[in-house]
A and B are shown apart, each in its own frame.
Chain A
Amino acid sequence: MSARRALELLYIDMWDALRPPAFDILLLVVGIMAGALSVIIPITSPIGALNPNNAFNPVMIGLAVATIYMALRSAADLVNVIQGGLFQVYMSYPISRLQVALTLYVARVIMPALILLGLPALVIGFMLYPVVLKNPLDFVALWLSYFVQSQMYGVIFLLLSSRFRAQGVAMVASVSFYFAYVALSFFLYLLGLFDDIKTLQQLSNAMGFYTVIYDFLAKVSTPTWEAAVVPAVFIVLLGSYLAYMSRRFEPT
């Protein structure tokens, strides 16, 4: 009964988190881009097209779009949900705080990422099916790596949004964090390359879970710890978010 109630709440919150037209437009853009790239990549890189990992690269656009969407819309909207009083309405239901926190996470992070990363994967699977069918497990593993990466970003955005009192501030903080993260990864890589410091390069690599999985699938020698960084950070952050929302968070 309790799980069913949480599912009803999930439906309500998803309606708010994925409301048109922004989400629908993004879906269209991501779908078209994935379709275009899966045509362009085999022409520009015929060898790469034979590699399912390369074939999967167009989903990168989905990750960027999903991340920006989560930062600007679904997570930042949490500020409105809290400040506008809707959160109180959710909390007035016979549902535990943990379930409400989980529901918000599923509606605002899992679902947008699942759809915005899932659509390009479907398009690629359709357009490049001979390549994908060669190694379907690789295809799934890479997709999951992008998904896990998006979840780490999403939880950070939720945590930031639950702390701020203004939606604009939450948006700026989330987007700034994302670009700072990407820039830091790039900076570490360059620094490691120029100064020949292997650890910095590995750290940079570890910041993108999909690059670690890509290396693993391409049989590039990679230290095991690299594969643990993003999932570990994600699990710790998710635990912190759930603990904060179910124990300490108090709606104003």
Chain B
Amino acid sequence: MEPLLELRDVTKRFGSKVALRSVSMSVSPGEMVGLVGPNGAGKSTLIRVSLGILTRDSGSVTLMGEDPLVSPRARESVGVVFERPSLPPSMPVISFLRRAARIKGASDEDVKRAVELAGLKGYEDRPFAHLSAGLKQRAAIAHAIIGSPRLIIADEPTSNLDPVERESVLELLVELKKQGASVLLSSHVLSEVLRVVDRIVVLKSGSVAISGGPEEILKGLRRVRVRTPEPEALAKELGSMGLKAATSGPEVIVQLEGNRDADLLDALAKAASKGIKIYGVDMVEPNIEELLR
């Protein structure tokens, strides 16, 4: 199947600074791709180059089969959520959405559906400037999903949101994917992307550092944190069972290589039977810095 978005060897410079260096990536129909990287890695630049908002110095971009720099039609079935939600400040959101729908070739019925899906119902008559940060983000999402676009590009859609709102935005993206949309989700929070995407592209200093499925990416990064008053003794005990364990203050961090979850449980049970107290066990959320190390 032809990708909805494809970048080949794209390089973008801002003066002497190289923002993107020979980046190649794609988003296929029905796929949710995570674009991950620390701040300044080039995620937003990649998105803007993909949409034809920024020019590129070399390489090619194909969006819906066309070059977005040459053909604005390429953006016809693309919904975009930008990092900073921005709509006309004084215009009632619903008026703006209706106008935007006409630009996108969608109907008022599509607007109604988008408002409901984005959880904006009851707030749509307010001017954008009068909405809270979370509602602004929802308005931006409603704007992006008008007319059921084939591709949704979301640039840090969960930034500035509280954990509950973050979760609901991610759930909404998953729901849209289920309804047939492809999604390019950019974030600097690896753990939140890992849960929802099919594939991850990790950017570092404008280059693709790592690319693959979440399982593949997570290889060697699955770790468990065990809280105990006797970290030295527990680490020794786990080590004797062939597990990679290291102390970190009042905790023991265990690296889970391969399928050794059962071994860990056995080892913890054995340690407890020897009188080592265990207060709690949880997964350590992987972060980008570790991934890029």
Name A's B-contacting residues (CB within 8 A).
Answer: 1-2, 4-5, 8-9, 11-13, 15-16, 19, 84-86, 88-89, 91-96, 99, 250-251
Contacts and interface: CB of A to CB of B under 8 A. Distances in A.
A52 B74 CA distance: 54
A86 B89 CA distance: 9
Contact of B87 (A9, A11, A89): A89
B80 A92 contact: yes
Closest 4 CB pairs of A and B: A85-B86, A94-B76, A92-B80, A91-B53
A12 B51 contact: no
B53 A15 contact: no
A5 to B, nearest CB: 5
Interface string B100-130: 1011110000000000000000000000000
B218 interface: no
Nearest to A96: B72
A79 to B, nearest CB: 14
A94 B104 contact: yes
A163 to B, nearest CB: 15
B255 interface: no
B53 A251 contact: yes
B75 interface: yes
21 contacts: A1-B105, A5-B103, A8-B99, A8-B100, A8-B102, A9-B103, A12-B96, A12-B100, A13-B88, A16-B88, A16-B90, A86-B87, A88-B48, A88-B82, A89-B86, A92-B78, A92-B80, A92-B82, A93-B103, A94-B72, A250-B55
Nearest to A20: B90
Nearest to B44: A88
Given A85-B82, A92-B51, A12 B91 contact: yes
| Interface size of B as a range | 20 to 34
A12 B72 contact: no
B88 A86 contact: yes
B270 interface: no
Given A91-B53, A94-B72, A95-B72, A5 B102 contact: yes
Interface string B40-83: 00000000100111110000000000000000111110101011
A8 B99 CA distance: 6
B178 interface: no
Contacts of A84: 84, 86
Given A86-B88, A94-B76, 19 more contacts: A5-B103, A11-B99, A12-B91, A13-B88, A15-B88, A16-B88, A19-B90, A84-B84, A85-B82, A86-B86, A88-B86, A89-B86, A91-B51, A92-B78, A94-B73, A94-B75, A94-B104, A96-B72, A250-B55
B77 to A, nearest CB: 9
Contacts of B72: 2, 93-96, 99
Given A94-B76, A94-B104, A15 B91 contact: yes
A20 to B, nearest CB: 8
B90 A15 contact: yes
Nearest to A250: B54
Contacts of B48: 88, 251
B42 to A, nearest CB: 14
Nearest to B101: A8
A94 B147 CA distance: 13
Given A92-B53, A95-B72, A12 B84 contact: no
B86 A12 contact: no
A12 B52 CA distance: 21
Contacts of A88: 48, 53, 82, 86
A151 B83 CA distance: 35
A7 B48 CA distance: 24
B104 A85 contact: no
A103 B171 CA distance: 37
B34 to A, nearest CB: 20
A95 B53 CA distance: 11
A24 to B, nearest CB: 13
A194 B34 CA distance: 73
Nearest to A92: B80
Residue among A1, A85, A88, A91 with most chain B CB within 10 A: A88
Contacts of A85: 82-86
A5 B48 CA distance: 21
Nearest to B48: A88
